[in-house]
Amino acid sequence: MAGSADPAALRDAVIARARELELSGWARAGDDGAVRVHAEGEAGALAELTAFLGAAEGPEAVSLGTAKREGHEQFAPRGVPAGVFVVQEHRATAHHWDFRLEVDGVMRSWAVPKGPSLDPGVKRLAVQVEDHGMAHNDYEGDNVIIWDRGLYEQGGRVPWPRAVDERGHAVFVLHGEKLSGGFALQRTGGRGGAATKKPQWLLIKRKDDAARPGSDVVAERPESVVTGKPLPVTPGSS
């Protein structure tokens, strides 16, 4: 939808109507005054949303087309960052990648032994660990590099942080230097606490235009996004 005087207000109106129709997808307000919409769902509901777009106040022109299904869970704003994310490769007792998302001012953290993947067919074990402070995001050392970082957007049916703490299923979109597109964290076992093991999750790339089936991004892109150098290999490490 092009030519809107208030693209953010139009975006919010589209989101509200799409949720009433139980559609999934996204709406993005651009700096050029255009609002871009991706909608998925039943044909009747899509037709009603199309009629709404045509009658909405603001846009001078509306163009329609078909798109590849992306598999969203709800209709949500796109292009509105929820915070930062960072992935730090860490060669400790066990070599792993620390995957962290900013939620309510702290970095919710998972240790991913094999590192993230851009292949939707690969499900990476992610062990939830203690939250970290924001200051740790910039740390690099002898055994740690900043492997990737950027902004992310929250998604899913349940508001954050309840999606992480209660539902155990968090959907989000990454905008990093190496990782991009939709991802999901799915809890598979353990809820933490003194008497239980650390919560275990799966980190999964969603099927979208950023997916790269058959790829191994941690092997292809081993370098720090700060220095351009990979994590040094120390004697006895693998």
Domain ranges (residues) in the chain: 7-78, 83-220
Maximum Cα interatomic distance, the chain, rounded to a whole number of Å:
67
Query: Which residues on neighbouring strands pair with residue 205, listed in sequence order?
Result: 183
Both tokens assigned to 228:
């351009």
Q: Name residues of the chain where pLDDT drops below 50.
A: 193-195, 238
So what's the pLDDT on residue 37? Answer: 95
Alpha-carbon 50 to chain mean position:
27
Cβ atoms within 10 Å of 126's Cβ, excluding its own: 26
So what's the pLDDT on residue 58? Answer: 74
So what's the pLDDT on residue 234? Answer: 65
Phi/psi of residue 64, each to 5°? -120, 155
Angle between helices 7-20 and 43-55 (to 10 degrees): 150
CATH architecture of 7-78: 2-Layer Sandwich (3.30)
The answer to whether 181 and 209 have CB atoms below 8 angstroms apart is yes
User: What pLDDT digit, counting tens, does each position of 104-115 carry?
Assistant: 999 999 999 999
CA gap 238, 234 in Å, rounded: 8
So what's the pLDDT on residue 193? Answer: 47
Both tokens assigned to 24:
């999934």
So what's the pLDDT on residue 14? Answer: 94
So what's the pLDDT on residue 83? Answer: 95
| Look-up of token digits 């208030």 | 6
Phi/psi of residue 159, each to 5°? -60, 150
So what's the pLDDT on residue 191? Answer: 56
- Look up residue 160 and give its DSSP letter: T
3-class state of residue 140 by DSSP: coil
So what's the pLDDT on residue 194? Answer: 43
Within the chain, strands assigned E span 24-29, 35-40, 75-78, 83-91, 95-103, 106-112, 123-132, 144-154, 169-176, 180-189, 200-205
